[in-house]
């Protein structure tokens, strides 16, 4: 399973173009942006006042003694007071903008996950998707706020100091300005390298997270087969790759500072030499001690914002690369598309017309021109070898799978005409693969609906779980933990049955819903299911004979087609595939070779 997003034209965009893409999320609060820019401008304006104060102190205080002493503390404290307030306001405003933008982007990404086409979850692992939505956005936003704070403050500071240098001595300032092209070239070259390394590091991180996810989920199997050494080697290989990429990124990032400092040192040497020459030459070009100290001070103050601006390409590049993963997911992944039909509660008439489903072009079809009619209120059991297409057939009904050819109809309407929410409200499903949320028992039972405590309790009782829930510390308000780890396998199965009972949909899909129950519990739940199935269309994926005892019809599937159908007695008398399955004691396997299971069963 691929854990990396599909390639996009992102690499062809410039860094500025990539930042502009984010303005839809981070540029909405214009008044806060205005406050941030104003505060940064005020803070930057205080920077050249420091060398200006030194110039006045040297020329008027030490040389002529004309400066009043009270001006020194008043000037310094006032200057740094204004500077501190401006920096605080600017930093808070930019943090507000960035964190609000992060929330908007993350909300949009999660909304897309909730309505994304099912193919997304086949292409990307759960760890990669959660890493993109949670950690990549968090990392990108934190880096971006730091970068934005730096680029606004240091950018304005650079302009203010250059303006003051021009005021003091425009000839010397031209020498300082010669640093610009060299610094710009270094930033452009290294930022491109950093972006490529960042994208590679993201993919490597996803692969490493996926290995961890696999080993956490399959920890019993890893220990059973003594596969720890092989998994450790696999983890170590990916960790080493991530380490190499991290070191390469460090080299590219760390190279910016010494290279820009060398350019600054060359400019400083030239400035000092020219200033000494002007001072010795005298005339109109003579430089006072105050002028020289103020110029050198302002020039040295330039080095810090230049250095930070030179390094700003690293966090901006990493931030944009991280945030772009979310943008790419939203742009490249289409939302599920449905129709507008929402007729209310369905009668339950289901029709498959020459339906073909293939998950990949180079593999055998999971369903091959299958046709089947299910009448309202009919109970149909689906049996057949593993890989025969039973699960694919029921997934078609909820449009979790889209047919390549043919039609699937509900109450005479093609499923593509149905509004997706209205369509899926017609189905309740209990699967062997029970999924519970880290929420209360009541919330899990009433999933997607308001909690009616009386209804919840009635459903728990019908599923033979009310006594156990009542014994929990907080009853139905007890949080069940990750995938209901506080409950046993059988209890989780019964909780899923309670959820289906609560939904009270007109069509039921049961994937061996009682397989995890003991004999007594199964008897009680079967009674509840019989009451629930009365008057409802029911499809049962059956693995045991006891499951299909009350079915109106048994449909036997093989290699994506219907091999035979009828009642249990009729099929046994026909002595076909169903009878062979019964003789082998299972409804899901035979001694005959099965098609390669590259598709869903």
* Of 504, 531, 561, the domain-final residue: 504
Would you place residue 524 in the very low, low, confident or very high pLDDT band (cuts 50, 70, 90)?
low
From CA 136, how far away is CA 324, in angstroms rounded? Answer: 9
- Indicate if 304 and 449 belong to the same structural domain: no
From CA 388, how far away is CA 367, in angstroms rounded? Answer: 8
Q: What does the buried/exposed string (b/e) look like for 292-312 if buried means 16 or more CB atoms within 10 Å of the residue's CB?
A: bbbbbbbbebbbebbbbbbbb
Question: What order of strands is seen across the sheet that includes strand 405-410?
Answer: 367-374, 350-357, 405-410, 413-414
Q: Examine residue 67 and state whether it is found in any structural domain, yes or no.
A: yes
> Does the pLDDT value for residue 5 go beyond 50?
no
Q: Looking at per-residue confidence, does 25 or 367 come out higher?
A: 367
- Indicate if 449 and 314 belong to the same structural domain: no
Q: Looking at per-residue confidence, does 453 or 336 come out higher?
A: 453
DSSP letter string, 174-242? HHHHTHHHHHHHHHHHHHHHHHHHHHHHHHHHHHHHHHHHHHHHTHHHHHHTT-HHHHHHHHHHHHHHH
* Of 485, 504, 523, the domain-final residue: 504
pLDDT for position 597: 34
**CB proximity list for 532: less than 8 A, separation 6 or greater:** 462, 500, 501, 508
Q: Examine residue 272 and state whether it is found in any structural domain, yes or no.
A: yes
> Does the pLDDT value for residue 45 go beyond 60?
yes
Average pLDDT over residues 563-579: 88
pLDDT for position 600: 35
Q: Examine residue 509 and state whether it is found in any structural domain, yes or no.
A: no
From CA 257, how far away is CA 308, in angstroms rounded? Answer: 8
Q: Look up the domain containing 51 and give its range.
A: 10-332
> Does the pLDDT value for residue 388 go beyond 70?
yes
From CA 397, how far away is CA 415, in angstroms rounded? Answer: 8
Would you place residue 328 in the very low, low, confident or very high pLDDT band (cuts 50, 70, 90)?
confident
From CA 313, how far away is CA 184, in angstroms rounded? Answer: 11
Nearest to 548 by CA among 494, 498, 512, 577: 512
> Does the pLDDT value for residue 576 go beyond 70?
yes
Query: Which CATH number goes with the domain that contains 90?
Result: 1.20.1560.10
pLDDT for position 64: 59
Give the tokens for residue 382: 């689906």
Average pLDDT over residues 53-67: 70
Furthest-apart CA atoms within the chain: distance in Å: 122
Helix (H) or strand (E) holding 428: strand 427-430
Count of domains forming the chain:
2
Q: Examine residue 244 and state whether it is found in any structural domain, yes or no.
A: yes
Query: Which CATH number goes with the domain that contains 492?
Result: 3.40.50.300
Helix (H) or strand (E) holding 509: strand 507-511
The segment with the largest mean pLDDT, out of 172-176, 310-314, 392-396, 465-469, is: 392-396
* Of 285, 305, 332, the domain-final residue: 332
- Indicate if 446 and 326 belong to the same structural domain: no
Least confident segment among 25-34, 100-109, 157-166, 172-181: 172-181
Contact (Cβ atoms closer than 8 angstroms) between residue 416 and residue 339: yes
Q: Examine residue 531 and state whether it is found in any structural domain, yes or no.
A: no
pLDDT for position 417: 93
Q: Examine residue 17 and state whether it is found in any structural domain, yes or no.
A: yes
pLDDT for position 601: 37
Q: Looking at per-residue confidence, does 91 or 379 come out higher?
A: 379
| 3-class DSSP assignment, residue 487 | coil
pLDDT for position 423: 93
From CA 450, how far away is CA 446, in angstroms rounded? Answer: 7
- Indicate if 184 and 44 belong to the same structural domain: yes
Average pLDDT over residues 305-313: 74
Average pLDDT over residues 559-587: 84
Would you say how long the chain is, in residues? 601
Contact (Cβ atoms closer than 8 angstroms) between residue 591 and residue 584: yes
* Cα-based distances in Å from 510 to 147, 369, 542: 54, 24, 8
Question: What order of strands is seen across the sheet that includes strand 507-511?
Answer: 427-430, 507-511, 537-541, 379-383, 553-558, 561-566
pLDDT for position 304: 77
Would you place residue 3 in the very low, low, confident or very high pLDDT band (cuts 50, 70, 90)?
very low
> Does the pLDDT value for residue 230 go beyond 70?
yes
Q: Examine residue 374 and state whether it is found in any structural domain, yes or no.
A: no
């Amino acid at each position: 399973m691929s854990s990396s997003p599909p390639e996009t034209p992102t690499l062809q965009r410039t860094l500025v173009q990539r930042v502009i893409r984010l303005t839809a999320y981070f540029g909405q609060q214009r008044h806060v942006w205005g406050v941030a820019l104003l505060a940064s401008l005020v803070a930057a304006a205080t920077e050249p006042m420091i060398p200006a104060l030194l110039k006045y102190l040297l020329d008027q205080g030490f040389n002529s003694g004309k400066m009043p002493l009270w001006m020194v503390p008043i000037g310094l404290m006032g200057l740094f007071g204004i500077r501190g307030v401006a920096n605080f306001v600017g930093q808070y405003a930019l943090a507000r903008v960035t964190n609000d933008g992060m929330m908007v982007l993350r909300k949009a990404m999660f909304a897309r996950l909730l309505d994304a086409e099912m193919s997304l979850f086949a292409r990307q692992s759960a760890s990669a998707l959660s890493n993109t939505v949670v950690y990549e956005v968090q990392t990108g936003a934190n880096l971006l706020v730091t970068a934005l704070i730096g680029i606004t403050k240091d950018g304005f500071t650079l302009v203010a100091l250059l303006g003051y240098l021009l005021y003091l001595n425009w000839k010397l300032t031209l020498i300082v300005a010669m640093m610009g092209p060299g610094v710009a070239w270094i930033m452009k070259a290294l930022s491109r390298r950093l972006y490529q390394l960042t994208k590679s590091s993201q993919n490597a991180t996803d692969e490493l997270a996926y290995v961890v996810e696999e080993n956490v989920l399959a920890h019993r199997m890893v220990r059973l087969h003594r596969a720890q050494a092989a998994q450790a080697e696999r983890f170590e290989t990916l960790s080493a790759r991530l380490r190499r990429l991290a070191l390469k990124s460090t080299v590219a990032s760390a190279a910016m500072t010494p290279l820009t400092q060398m350019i600054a040192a060359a400019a400083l040497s030239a400035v000092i030499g020219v200033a000494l020459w002007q001072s010795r030459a005298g005339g109109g070009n003579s430089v006072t001690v105050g002028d020289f100290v103020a110029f050198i001070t302002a020039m040295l103050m330039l080095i810090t914002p230049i250095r930070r601006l030179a390094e700003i390409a690293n966090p901006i590049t990493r931030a944009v690369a991280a945030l772009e993963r979310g943008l790419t997911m939203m742009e490249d992944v289409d939302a599920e598309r449905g129709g507008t039909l929402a007729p209310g509660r369905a009668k339950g008439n289901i029709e498959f017309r020459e339906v073909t489903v293939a998950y990949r072009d180079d593999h055998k079809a999971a369903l091959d021109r299958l046709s089947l009619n299910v009448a309202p209120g009919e109970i149909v059991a689906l049996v057949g070898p593993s890989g025969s297409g039973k699960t694919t057939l029921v997934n078609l009904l909820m449009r979790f799978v889209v047919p390549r050819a043919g039609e699937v109809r509900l109450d005479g309407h093609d499923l593509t005409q149905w509004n997706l929410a209205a369509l899926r409200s017609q189905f309740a499903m209990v699967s062997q693969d029970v999924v519970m949320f880290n929420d209360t028992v009541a919330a899990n039972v009433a999933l997607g609906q308001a909690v009616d405590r009386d209804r919840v309790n009635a459903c728990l009782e019908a599923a033979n779980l009310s006594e156990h829930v009542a014994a929990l510390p907080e009853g139905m308000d007890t949080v069940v933990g990750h995938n209901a780890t506080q409950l046993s396998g059988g209890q989780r199965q019964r909780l899923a049955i309670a959820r289906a009972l609560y939904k009270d949909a007109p069509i039921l899909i049961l994937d061996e819903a009682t397989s995890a129950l003991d004999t007594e519990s199964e008897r009680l739940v079967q009674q509840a299911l019989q009451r629930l199935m009365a008057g409802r269309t029911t499809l049962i994926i059956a693995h045991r004979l006891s499951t299909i005892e009350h079915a109106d019809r048994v449909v036997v599937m093989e290699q994506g087609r219907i091999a035979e159908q009828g009642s249990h007695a009729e099929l046994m008398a026909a002595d076909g595939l169903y009878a062979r399955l019964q003789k082998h004691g299972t409804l899901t396997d035979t001694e005959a070779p099965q098609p390669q299971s590259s598709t869903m069963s």
